[in-house]
Copies of this chain bind each other. A is one copy, B any other.
């Protein structure tokens, strides 16, 4: 796959951005590096003249940006979601330095859509948002002042990806078994979780009113696997067979 095609398969997702200027800066950084697909999850203010001003010639990326009501909506169709996070999170994936992860991200982009997920300027990503991602990356920084501006963080990630795509970093060999079937998309994986929750609830193993840490733990478990489409079918087949046999929980 050509470098430009690889970069076209990488989307930038900004969760709850507060400042329209940062949205514009992100769009500019993306276009400078050859990325184009921008998703905004409940931006405080968008569109906005300040976003346009900071985007300069990247206003086309703003015009095509998709505004989403939830992170799940922004991740629909993606087969790998990568959180930018300065620190490890409760039950979330362990962050790797961006440069180390670039080969894996590009290898994933050759097979499916990849999402880079950035948090709010002040609060970053929530634990729940990080838990929806399969991997996490961090930008090595001064430990006494490690919080980069949102647009600057987007710039660094897009820069590393461009250099990687244009031959700086060879795509990594897949560390696990090669995919026998295409990777499952975010929404397919979420469909499996919803199905599992239904069966677990009906079996009395799980009480949605008192969720505790059970589901974050299951997300962490299956998130490490990077499920394939066929595997989702097998897992949902097992769940459906259980429901069929017992008659409980058949609601779809």
- List the interface of chain A (C-beta within 8 A of B): 25, 28-29, 31-34, 54, 56-58, 88, 91-97, 99-101, 104, 135, 139-142, 145-149, 151-152, 155-156, 159, 162-163, 166, 168-170, 172-178, 180, 196, 199-200, 202-205, 214, 217-218, 220-227, 230-231, 234-235, 237-238, 241-242, 244-246, 248
Chain B residues with Cβ below 8 Å from A149 are 25, 28-29, 54, 56, 151, 155
Chain B residues with Cβ below 8 Å from A174 are 94
Chain B residues with Cβ below 8 Å from A141 are 32-34, 162
A142-B32, A145-B58 known; A238 vs B203 contact (CB < 8 Å): yes
Q: Which of B54, B205, B238 contacts A241 (CB 8 A)?
A: B205
A175-B135, A227-B221 known; A140 vs B152 contact (CB < 8 Å): no
Smallest CB separation, A218 vs chain B (Å):
7
Q: Which of B135, B147, B151, B220 contacts A32 (CB 8 A)?
A: B147
Smallest CB separation, A164 vs chain B (Å):
11
Smallest CB separation, A242 vs chain B (Å):
5
Q: Which of B54, B224, B237 contacts A205 (CB 8 A)?
A: B237
Chain B residues with Cβ below 8 Å from A148 are 28-29, 32, 155
Give the docked Cα–Cα distance between A221 and B223 (Å): 12
Contact: A140 with B156, CB < 8 Å? no
Contact: B221 with A225, CB < 8 Å? yes
Contact: B91 with A180, CB < 8 Å? yes
Contact: A246 with B246, CB < 8 Å? yes
Contact: B97 with A245, CB < 8 Å? no
Q: Which of B92, B152, B217, B225 contacts A152 (CB 8 A)?
A: B152
Chain B residues with Cβ below 8 Å from A204 are 241, 244-245
Give the docked Cα–Cα distance between A244 and B203 (Å): 8
Chain B residues with Cβ below 8 Å from A244 are 203-204
